[in-house]
Structure 1
């Protein structure tokens, strides 16, 4: 390493320390026992990314997911549309949700109409923090009960752990009926 690389590394390290101090100061008003700032195993760069993501989370407004779109995403009632229209709107809506960093998981047990109803009834009106962090998504698991997860999505290890922990009979494992290749 030559002298210019050494001085550049030192300057980078100073910049990282200054950024770290600024981030910690900005996070101070939000600190309570729910915020974990123990970052002893992180590099300074990684710690700063972590602190910046915490700060972004704290400052982000909680808005109905439908309001994350311009204009606001409004869908017709599931009862008001035919299957063909619903199928088209479902594909468009899933793509639009993904564009706004909402990823749907565990949907393969649902018919298109049932998935559309969940998006219409549960996802779009739900208030969530919209956080703009590269590579971060809001993951929405479309499961309403543990039995559905055990039946369609839990692997053998998860099923065994659940059975041992709760000492219950498990539902039969099944392949979901509606395989989807969703973005994300």
Structure 2
């Protein structure tokens, strides 16, 4: 056996053990308490290191608005609605914003009930302004927004949006059974065809091709 190769493997293993210990200590410091056991990690050192890097990224991620994160990390600021004077300009701005957010692993679904203008307004006024954890570039954490959770002018109750546009007959029947006192909204076709074109995480792209 090549002794130099063995030494390299041993040194790599030692470096991984030290790195894991450092990551774990920093996570425990942020959490304010020690982590009992091995944190549910098995497998080899490479797997353990990847696990702790994943947890470390989440636990130490700063909280800020997506507006601030876009400006800080991408030098990007979504233009206000009053600057978008045509439907084409609004459409272009919306998709540029969606793709820029996707580069930070922020993704959206269930938007086919929203016009470009309504979607853009919700992004500007509610999504981008709210404080959230901003994952570091290179992490594998995805942030997902279900747009049925945002009430609209025509459907003020968020759960009714899903029932009206996205729920199938079985889901509507189940909801009616569980909440018989709720008024079931009429079923409607989604007026827009956007969701199938929205950016998705890289690890999901192959299954969508």
TM score, norm. by length of structure 1? 0.76
Match of 1:136 among 128, 131, 141: 141
User: Where does residue 183 of structure 1 map in the other structure?
Assistant: 199
User: Where does residue 70 of structure 2 map in the other structure?
Assistant: 69
User: Where does residue 101 of structure 1 map in the other structure?
Assistant: 105
Name structure 1 gaps, 5 residues minimum: none
CA gap of 1:153–1:78, structure 2 versus 1, over 3 A, is farther
Name structure 2 gaps, 5 residues minimum: 151-157, 201-209
Q: Distance in 2 between matches of 1:122 and 1:96?
A: 17
CA gap of 1:78–1:177, structure 2 versus 1, over 3 A, is farther
CA offsets per residue over residues 125-154 of structure 1, 9 Å max, x none? 222222124333221222220111122223
Q: Distance in 2 between matches of 1:172 and 1:7?
A: 69
User: Where does residue 153 of structure 1 map in the other structure?
Assistant: 166
Q: Which moved more, 1:128-137 or 1:10-19?
A: 10-19
* SS of match in other structure, 2:111: coil
Q: Distance in 1 between matches of 2:119 and 2:99?
A: 14
Q: Distance in 2 between matches of 1:37 and 1:174?
A: 51
* SS of match in other structure, 1:60: coil
TM score, norm. by length of structure 2? 0.68
* SS of match in other structure, 1:24: helix
Aligned pair 1:123/2:136, yes or no? no
Aligned pair 1:23/2:28, yes or no? no
CA gap of 1:6–1:40, structure 2 versus 1, over 3 A, is farther
